[in-house]
Amino acid sequence: MQETTYKMNTPVAIALLADLHERPAGPVFDSLRTRRPDIICIAGDMFQGSLPDNEDLAAERVVPVLKTCAAIAPTFLSLGNHEWILSPKDMQLLRSTGVHVLDNCWMEWQGIFIGGITSAVVTNYRRYSSVSGEKYPKNPPHIMERAKFPKTWIQDFCNQSGFKILLCHHPEYYPRYLADLPIDLVLSGHAHGGQWRIFNRGVFAPGQGLFPKLTSGVHDRLVISRGLANTAPFPRFFNPTELVYIEPSVT
């Protein structure tokens, strides 16, 4: 695992985690305890993505990780596409850890506004899972459903006066939905750095296809983590797992 630090115009020091996928987190904890960020932001995909074998999946594999993060620093979690498996009971367990679960909502923390966009995979599954055998459509994330929600939570979030951080698992949402919104910092993962990196460019990312543009680094106000695990059937190539730190440019 590599540590990457970016200096940006932010009032707090942030650790960005993404795509742990139920893997052991010992090195992550060691780094967090050494660096001591002001807040920890987890941009989705704590789970692997197959249906639980038992009702205690969240408690056994993810809850201890979240409890440890929350003991190190205030921790905020948004839901990625692999969180589609979570039951209401699992969601209660996640919230019991002390982590702030941002499920298409926002909150204020010490004068900073922090929101979380839930992956459209999750919201679609919630909406259509009760219809047996029906293949649900690929709808956009909740923020765009203006016909059904004339005033969405993201509009309310953007209207707040103060520094705004948005956790958004999918970096491909940024140019389409978020780039024109008054949000100071957007934190993402999902692309796994493009899986293979050739000449420091990712080869493939879900939602972006071959040679995607948004797999790693800083793009305007968007910061993308390469993720903390490998879930593909082939290994990462020239693409170590990554824990990102974002520090104030002026201290």
Mean pLDDT, residues 168-197 taken together: 90
Under the banding of pLDDT at 50, 70 and 90, the label for residue 47 is confident
- For residue 108, what pLDDT band results from cuts at 50, 70 and 90? very high
> Using CA atoms, how far apart are residues 113 and 76, in angstroms rounded to an integer?
11
Residues 6+ apart with CB under 8 A from 1: 27, 28, 31, 228, 240, 241, 242, 243
Tokens of 135: 């293949």
Q: Specify the pLDDT at position 161.
A: 95
Say which residue, 103 or 149, is predicted with more confidence.
103
Cβ 17 vs Cβ 167: under 8 Å: no
Structural domain range at position 63: 2-248
DSSP 27-55: HHHHHHHHH--SEEEEES--S--SPPSST
CA distances from residue 170 to 44, 50, 59, 90 in whole angstroms, order as listed: 9, 19, 25, 22
By C-alpha distance, which of 15, 44, 20, 22 is closest to 170? Answer: 44
pLDDT digits over 12-37, tens only?
A: 999 999 999 888 899 999 999 999 99
Q: Can you tell me which residue has the tokens 């990457």?
A: 4
Is the pLDDT at 105 greater than 90? The verdict is yes
Q: Which of 93-102, 157-166, 170-179, 190-199 has the lowest mean pLDDT?
A: 190-199
Identify any residues that bridge with 222 across adjacent strands, giving them in sequence order. 186, 219
pLDDT of residue 59: 65
**Cβ-Cβ contacts under 8 Å for 177 (sequence gap 6 or more):** 140, 141, 143, 144
pLDDT of residue 49: 63
Instruction: Say whether pTM exceeds 0.85.
Output: yes
Quick one: pLDDT band at residue 133, thresholds 50, 70, 90? very low
The Cβ of residue 186 has, within 10 Å, a number of other Cβ atoms equal to 25
139 or 2, higher pLDDT: 2
- Tally of structural domains, the chain: 1
Contact 47, 81 (CB under 8 A): no
Q: Which residue has the higher pLDDT, 118 or 202?
A: 118
Closest CA to 191 of 179, 181, 178, 201: 201
Confidence of residue 136 (pLDDT cuts 50, 70, 90): very low
Q: Which pLDDT band holds residue 56 (cuts at 50, 70, 90)?
A: low
Mean of all residue pLDDT scores within the chain? 85
Indicate whether 195 pLDDT > 50: yes
- Phi, psi dihedral angles at 82 (to 5 degrees): -75, -10
Q: What's the whole-number mean pLDDT along residues 156-165?
A: 95
CATH number of the domain where residue 23 is located? 3.60.21
Kindly indicate the confidence band of residue 213, based on its pLDDT and cuts at 50, 70 and 90: confident
Give the pLDDT score at 149: 44
| Band (107; pLDDT cuts 50, 70, 90) | very high
